[in-house]
Amino acid sequence: MLTILSDDEMAFKDAVRTFAEAEIKPLVNKMDHDAKMDAGLLPKLFAMGLMGIETPERFGGAGSTFMMACLAVEELGRVDGSVSVMVDVQNTLVTNAMLKSANDKQKDKYLPLLATKWVGAYALSESSSGSDAFALKLRAEDKGDHYLLNGHKLWITNGAEASLFLVFANMDPAKGYKGITGFIVEKDFAGFKVGKKEDKLGIRASSTCELIFENCRVPKENVIGEVGKGYKIAIETLNEGRIGIGAQMLGIAQGAYEATVNYVKSREQFGKPIGQFQGVQFQIAEMRTQLEAIRLFVYNAARLKDAGRDFVKEAAMAKLYASRTAEKICSVAVDLFGGNGFTKEYPIEKFYRDAKIGQIYEGTSNMQLQTIAKMEL
């Protein structure tokens, strides 16, 4: 790997890799088959400090950087994309939004819980608002000392495990996106429930759920940021979250690449390992080059974010390239495994399935292209 990390970052990365190999890897196949996160894994993620990486120490977090969060997401993705995206959403979406937009009282109440025992979910998408993110039909009605939320959310990552949901609803449809407001919703609020869990192609252990709001009562003090400014929170958070998805795709590509290198060294045809054939060697060289390009895109965007510099275009480029290229790397890996790559006996088919989602969630590839083009023209 290119030497672009500090000693502390490398030590942290190595620690997460060791943790992932020991605690997650033995569970991967069963979690994928059952389409369910192992409940015993969650306390270990919290104990490892992976659920509050940027959260200040006074709230029980690690007080570290966005770059460190991306390194954790990468290393977890190298073993399992599902655990990787759970940690990613917790850190780059939910915690980041709380750190930037919650008031002091909200931070005091919720950040310690998110750092030590509560999983968070980010609830923006609906059936009619995917790429058109602000075409929200979830309504919020002001009732004096509280709000009532009515409607549905779809495709919400961490839905089954979460205790806290950052929910975006429109208080005044006549105002368009300027009516959108963010709310902190606890799982046991009256009128709220988690609905159907999707049966997915990849990242199957990651829960992707419908959320149902039927006169869901939300206290006035649980508005995050300002009324009517939820669209700003959503945009800023997603810009950061795209880097996290790039890191997830980097990890998935890394896992597929390492498995492939090991395989071509041992798989023999025509009397010698297939890795000795030039045709295979060239494909390995291409995979390695593409992998390092992903890494540079992702790390650069994360560094810009930590430095407080503009990173929106770089985040879009990182997600676009990482998601497209991770799928390519995983596809070539399946090819090089031959028939074995098409079976569940080997890890490659899962890496391939897990990689596809990168071009869809937290902004499709077409939306990333649009963002990049707008900032260039």
User: Among all residues, which ones are annotated catalytic?
Assistant: 362
Query: Which helix (H) or strand (E) covers residue 145, if one does?
Result: none
Q: 372 vs 67, 93, 302, 317, CA distance in Å?
A: 22, 21, 17, 7
Enter the tokens of residue 154: 């779809």
The CA-based angle 119-158-8, given to 5 degrees, is 60
| 8 Å CB contact between 149 and 129 | no
Cβ-Cβ contacts under 8 Å for 163 (sequence gap 6 or more): 113, 117, 118, 119, 120, 186, 187
How far is it, in rounded angstroms, from Cα 238 to Cα 93? 7
Is residue 98 within 8 A of residue 110, CB to CB? The reply is: yes
- Given its phi and psi angles, is residue 356 left (phi above 0), alpha (psi -120 to 50 degrees) or beta? alpha
* 8 A C-beta contact, residue 290 and residue 328: yes
- Please report, for residues 113, 167, 191, the alpha-carbon distance to residue 136 in angstroms, rounded to integers and kept in the order given: 29, 11, 19
C-alpha distances out from residue 72 to 51, 91, 106, 124, Å = 10, 10, 26, 24
Nearest to 206 by CA among 37, 17, 356, 88: 37
Q: How many CA atoms within 13 Å lie on the side-chain side of 360? A: 12
CB atoms within 10 A of CB 306: 17
User: Both tokens of residue 319?
Assistant: 């997600």
User: And the tokens for 278?
Assistant: 């030039």
- Would strands 164-170 and 120-123 be described as parallel, antiparallel, or unpaired? parallel
